[in-house]
A and B are shown apart, each in its own frame.
Chain A
Amino acid sequence: MVKDFESLSHTADIKIRVYGDTLEELFRHALIGMFQTVGPQAPDCVVRDGRLVCMQLPQHHSVEVESLDYESLLVDFLSHALYLSDVHNEAYLDVVIEQLTPTFIKASLHGVKITGFEVVEIKAVTYHDLEIKQINGAWQAIIVFDI
């Protein structure tokens, strides 16, 4: 499997590095990384290799987010997903991105109802150490979550 994200060390919070061949893939992997890192718990799904795997992702939300640049857009997009997750008790394990520009994203989130998170709840997506960069044609981002 192509590596989509990995956890990095941080004294108190959660820090992940996300990979993507395209920016769309980077945003998608960032969303998956955010939720899979904290172990969502759903009765009809199974945990395989530390990740929640579900046959179906029946909960859908269309989201449109506008922001200043790719970094801000990533923070605002993930923050919006976090808000929806908290209000609806859902975790989003996939996203279909319809449109992505440096200042706008239109996407549909796909997820499941959850009973909680195995590890911890994420309070917020921060700008700390945030960077999106291109290495040998592929994209990488580092994101720190406050927990």
Chain B
Amino acid sequence: MAHEFSLKDLIKIDENIYEIPKSFRSDMRVPARIFMNAQMFADIKGDRSLEQLVNVATLPGIQKYAFAMPDMHQGYGFPIGGVAATAINQGGVISPGGIGYDINCGVRLLAVNMSADELAPYLSELATRIFHKVPSGVGKGGKLDFKAGALDKILRDGAQHMLKLGYGNEGDLEFCEERGRLDNADPSMVSEQAKKRGADQLGTLGSGNHFLEIQKVDEIFDENVARVFGLEKNQVTVMIHCGSRGLGHQTCTDYVRTMMHKVNQWGYVLPDRELVCAPFTSKEGQEYFAAMSAAANFAWANRHMIGHWVREAFHEVVGQSIQVRTVYDVSHNIGKLETHMIDDKLVDVVMHRKGATRAFGPGRPELPALYRNVGQPVLIPGTMGTSSYVLVGTQEGMDASFGSSCHGAGRKMSRTQAKHTVHGAQLRKELEQAGIMIRSNSDPGLAEEAPVAYKDIDTVVSVVDGAKLARKVARVLPLAVIKGD
């Protein structure tokens, strides 16, 4: 029987940080830390996310804490919003379920050199053009279809290969995490099945909570950092949220299966089979890491391609002189090799972020030169019809959460419940009355993603800001939402 958590199980560290001590369950290797405030507890106590976080704290090699971000909710294996660092030289594991099936699901933000008022006369046509240019639904292949050899190049070189093929520009790479390519990628570690699923899905959004939004900057909280990111009030932005499509899903499925067959040999006792993992240095661990990196490259190529089509749409509908610049591209489902200061020593870790965004502070060499003095942009999409945020990474966050932040608002209501509460057609009307254009073929799909099904994004971001994991820079509001079915 699952433990029913109450606030009494948690130690309050400060207003925005709570801890489940190691003594809570005998198999925990480290305590668990949750970034939330007391009011938010109501949203998570009813689901299994805290139990899942305690399970994460049992992973071999885990360092400091199992972390959960304020948008946390129940996932499978890890909670969504979960962060875990495992030390490579201390038997640290890599867990596909700790990265997720949608490998390198993430967010790209584009900034356009025009104001929302200037865009207004073109908005409807632009939204329709993007809706047609970017295949968004289920079961719809993309406009590109790569044969095996060409696909391998994308898996190896990610967004960098797309630039070679003539799509996008150098700035799209410069302002992308890892410049759109993880160099551990090995296409030969990705199964033929995964490649078949990916062959015609490059440049597609997919369904569920994936979306593309045309937005405007509604408020600036930090003028200096906003200037560095090239954002100003009323400016038009575009946010793209999607991942590695079937190729990534199949890659995770394949390696969960591989590890499931070996896990007993490694002697791991797992509280949940979905946490299945391999020692990072084992053959299986290395092969998964190489395949996961290749799938991550596919996702970057995907968002790069979609960004290119958005730019094309602006040129066609508004004018060739319009500049559409990538502000940044962040991953929020990924495993990375990172080095962090732990107990005054530099430790090499496998950083699992599942539904969590890297939020590196100033000075990190991984950041593009232009942003290195201020920290990286942290992109937090809200829900349809509500605001999204741009934050900046902090030094405090490096120490508090290995440089990690939340990834969205986080669900609080099940999809079934959302559909019973919200009528899709009605929601469409309400959003349109509020001045937000909707391009989506599916009303049930809309209903499932209704704002009421999510936590309040403003509260989630205020906890991130209050705990200093990242600092608010700007808030953006949707003008048009383009969704998968």
Contact = CB atoms under 8 A, between A and B. Distances in A.
Given A72-B260, A117-B485, A119-B445, A11 B197 contact: no
A24 interface: no
B276 A127 contact: yes
Given A9-B416, A72-B260, A118 B485 contact: yes
Nearest to B276: A127
Contacts of B233: none
Interface stretch (A51-59, A79-87, A93-101): A79-87
B73 A86 contact: no
Nearest to A76: B257
B138 interface: yes
Contacts of B102: 123, 146
Contacts of B466: none
Given A114-B139, A116-B485, A117-B485, A128 B444 contact: no
Contact of B250 (A10, A83, A130): A83
A126 B412 CA distance: 20
B310 interface: no
Given A114-B139, A120-B138, A123-B249, A11 B257 contact: no
Q: How big is the B interface, by class? A: 35 or more
Given A117-B139, A127-B274, A13 B444 contact: no
Contacts of B178: none
Interface string B244-278: 00100110110011001100000000001110100
A11 B76 contact: no
Contacts of A75: 257
A105 interface: no
A121 B76 contact: no
Chain A interface mostly helix, strand, loop or mixed?
loop
A22 interface: no
B349 to A, nearest CB: 25
A11 B411 contact: yes
Given A7-B416, A10-B414, A14-B415, A120 B208 contact: yes
B139 A121 contact: yes
A88 to B, nearest CB: 10
A32 interface: no
B139 A87 contact: no
Contacts of A68: 260-261
B76 A127 contact: yes
A93 to B, nearest CB: 15
A79 B414 CA distance: 23
Contacts of A117: 138-139, 207, 485
